[in-house]
Amino acid sequence: MAWVFIEETETGPAAVGLEILTKARELGSPTVIYFGAGSEAAFATLGDYGATEVFHLVPAEGSTGIAAATAAMADLATEHNPDVILFGQTYTDRDVAGRLSARMGKTIISNGIDVAVDGGVGVTTELFGGAQLVTTMFEGEGPHLVLLRPKSFPAEPAGGAAPTVTAVPLPDPGHAGAARVVGNFIEESQGPKLEEAAVIIAGGRGLGSAEAFGLIEQLAAPLKAATGATRAIVDAGWVPYSKQVGQTGKTVKPDVYIACGISGAMQHLVGMKDSKMIIAINKDEEAPIFGVADLGIVGDVHQVLPKLIEALENR
Ligand SMILES: Cc1cc2nc3c(=O)[nH]c(=O)nc-3n(C[C@H](O)[C@H](O)[C@H](O)COP(=O)(O)OP(=O)(O)OC[C@H]3O[C@@H](n4cnc5c(N)ncnc54)[C@H](O)[C@@H]3O)c2cc1C
């Protein structure tokens, strides 16, 4: 029996949750622990993606609700004894999973890219930026706790019926629940979201300056692409963290990823190497990014990008 923890976002069930729910269908009839205000539409979506049963946890106004949700989940898991509880590799999910692991004394495996239940629960993780894959089997009694990276599975609706929804009251977690939400900041962003875009134009230190990121934006506009970045230029303050692709940023899988002035460090590659088509522009023909690229342009971004922009504008 597989459970999937899914947080509600401003657009409904978190995308990573629906990806994992799609995968969980292979493991049996999945139950969802849904964390958020909830709505008929949200529950219908969960059913559509294969949830047969939903335990609904609503955080109290002004509270993160994490500690209370964890306490409620621990009680539910003790009562129903699922084999495995799957989480997305996100801030909220990691927080809940870590607390649940401590509260229930259960092992957690993080950074998974696949999970299988075949005579035991096995989780696949990547080593050395994906050069090696390792499958780790849990031992002992479940529930086994697994954190899975976004974009590890496609999110595919199955046309399922509306699930049974049970509202679960959240207990008072005492001091553990003392954290309060004092403000919400939604970063303003234009254009398609990085995680959902079909085309991503990403820039790295090879651009030379924050101003030169304008070339990335100019190329992105006619292609209706999202813009991404390496950690080097996020740390340099050229672009916000929300654009960072890689191990400590976002994992993306667009149809086309154009890497401009990016060396291709392992920590960057791990977040974009599964893109369907990778195009790299770098003046160093030995740059590791060419090792994963389908198409490569050895050249200066300040010469190549203006030509590409001009060619697109003339189309
Ligand atoms: C724990 C940890 C986590 C990390 N997480 C991430 C992460 O999530 N994402 C991430 O990106 N990095 C991450 N990093 C950093 C990573 O190791 C690299 O330092 C970083 O990705 C390098 O960024 P870059 O390619 O922009 O810069 P550089 O490595 O400096 O590469 C710049 C490239 O631009 C080329 N270039 C220079 N001038 C031009 C020009 N005019 N035209 C064309 N090409 C040019 C150069 O040949 C070079 O290949 C992490 C590191 C650590 C230790």
Residue with the nearest Cα to atom 48 of ligand 1?
263
Residues 134 and 244 in one domain: no
State the CATH number of the domain containing residue 75. 3.40.50.620
Closest residue by Cα to atom 39, ligand 1, is 206
Domain range holding 68? Answer: 2-177
Atom of ligand 1 at shortest distance to CA of 205? 26
Nearest ligand 1 atom, CA 300: 42
Whether this prediction's pTM lies above 0.85 is answered by no
Question: Ligand 1: does its nearest atom lie under 6 Å from the Cβ of 263?
Answer: yes
pLDDT digits 0-9 by tens, 265-276: 999 999 999 999
Cβ neighbours of 236 (radius 10 Å)? 13
Assess whether 248 and 282 both reside in one domain. yes
Q: Is 251 in the pocket of ligand 1 (CB under 6 A)?
A: no
Residues 157 and 214 occupy one common structural domain: no
Is the domain of 231 the same as that of 267? Answer: yes
pLDDT in tens, 63-110: 889 999 999 999 999 999 999 999 999 999 999 999 999 999 999 999
- In short, whether 244's Cβ falls inside 6 Å of ligand 1 is yes
Q: Are residues 26 and 59 in the same domain?
A: yes
Pair (13, 138) in one structural domain = yes
What is the mean predicted confidence (pLDDT) over 31-55? 97
Domain membership of residue 135 (yes or no) is yes
Judge if 168 and 207 occupy the same domain: no
| Binding site membership of 268 for ligand 1 (Cβ less than 6 Å) | yes
Q: How far is the CA of 277 from the centre of ligand 1 (A)?
A: 20
Residue after which a domain boundary falls, among 145, 177, 209 = 177
> Same domain for 22 and 58?
yes
For the chain, the domain total comes to 2
